[in-house]
Amino acid sequence: MKKTTIMGILNITPDSFSDGGDYYDNPQKALERAQQMIKEGADSIDIGGESTRPGSESVDAQEELRRVIPVIQILKQHFGNDVLLCIDTWKHDVARETLEAGCGMVNSLGGFIFDEKLAGVVATSGCDFIMYHSTGKPKTMQQGDITYANVIKEISAFFEEQIMLGKKHGVKKEQFIIDPGIGFGKTVEQNIEIIKNLKVLETFKLPIAIGVSRKSFLGMILKDERNIETKPTERLEASLAATAIAVQNGASVVRTHDVWETKKFLTILDKFT
């Protein structure tokens, strides 16, 4: 049976769009949430110390480390090597220290475009590396007129460039996992187009990750099509619908806030695909 893997989202921030403040400055509560997600079926835990919601402010590396290191330490003490921990960061020094603390994967906004030194850290560690596409940093990525001549072709070109850059620093192609970055510098229509045409990215012969969980473009569709107003926590069904199309079109790694519901959903979907 096919198995689509699940990454449980654990944000250690005060300002993430859905769970901001829930686990900020509280490693014990973060551990309890991680335990719950693993019990529910998460294959890995994706830990973020800097919000990437549209309009969010960046934080420096020391603040990011202050947030995540205690959480990584307590998770590592509890799970040992039984659970894969992933750090969501684009900063090379945050990646280096969190990998040393026990993470085994890096999930990076923009790949190496915001910090080329990250490539050397990934090469040295040999860790898996998810790169998710973005045209800019969160503070400004959704501002202005967001245009692409061909969004899928431009995302493909981005991945080609990042893989070549990584190889220059010693990163092996098999370390890469590609993510089109739904919601990162894209309009609602562009997000839909990407998910509908995700199969184009299979030409890279690399795992494809997708993150649509609770995102605002789903809320915008519900508002426009059915006049339904939703908070992020009220977008489960919409998230699963978008996930279904993405998985059918090639995604094999799903990032989600709602692990238990996604696990049940993917169990059935994988049986039929």
Catalytic residue (one of 33, 91, 255, 263):
255
Answer yes or no: 215 catalytic: yes
Which residues make Cβ contacts (< 8 Å) with residue 69, sequence separation at least 6? 97, 98, 101
Q: At what angle are helices 216-226 and 188-196 packed, to 10 degrees? A: 100
| Two structure tokens written together for 39 | 């019990």
**Which segments of 103-143 are extended strands (E)?**
105-109, 128-132
Distance separating alpha carbons of residues 99 and 249, to the nearest angstrom: 32
| Two structure tokens written together for 131 | 């790169």
Q: Which residues of 159-179 are buried (b: 16+ CB within 10 A; e: fewer)?
A: beebbeebeebebeeebbbbb
Answer yes or no: 33 catalytic: no
Closest C-alpha to 40, from 71, 11, 69, 10: 10
Catalytic residue (one of 53, 215, 235, 263):
215
Where in the sequence numbering do the catalytic residues fall? 215, 255
